[in-house]
Amino acid sequence: MDNEDSNHHGASIVAGNSSKDPKSFLDAMDFAAMSLDDLWKLHETVEAILAEKIAAEILVLRGHLDRLSPEASAVRRDLESRQKP
């Protein structure tokens, strides 16, 4: 197994990762000085980014599951298709 497959938390599979340290970026922000509207916009941006990253991670994990257990994946897909209207 190569390194990219085993390290599912790396920047290679999650869109939007930056080479900058997120902690230093957050340390540089003065949240107390931000308006409520700006804080809400930041919240919405973070929420959207996290939702996108979670969706990407789910796809990667489902791919791993499909490779590990094709039979279980077929059952899961069958159940999901039955639940859709």
| d(C-alpha 71, C-alpha 68), whole Å | 9
In a domain, residue 21? The reply is: no
Residue 65 belongs to some domain of the structure:
yes
In a domain, 26, yes or no: no
Decide if 13 is inside a domain: no
**pLDDT over 90 at 66, yes or no:** no
Asked if the structure places residue 75 within a domain, the reply is yes
- Identify the domain containing residue 58 by its residue range: 35-85
Number of H-type helices and E-type strands within the chain: 4, 0
Residues 56, 9 contacting (CB under 8 angstroms)? no
Confirm whether 56 is domain-assigned.
Answer: yes
Is the residue at 70 inside a domain? yes
Torsion, CA 49, CA 52, CA 53, CA 57, rounded to 10: 170
**What's the pLDDT tens digit per position in 7-45?**
444 433 344 445 567 777 777 888 899 999 999 999 999
Q: Mean pLDDT across the chain, nearest whole number? A: 77
Structure token digits, residue 59: 């796809």
Q: Evaluate whether residue 53 is within a structural domain.
A: yes
Are residues 42 and 5 in contact, defined by beta-carbon separation less than 8 angstroms?
no
How many domains is the chain built from? 1
Output phi, psi for 13, to 5 deg: -110, -10
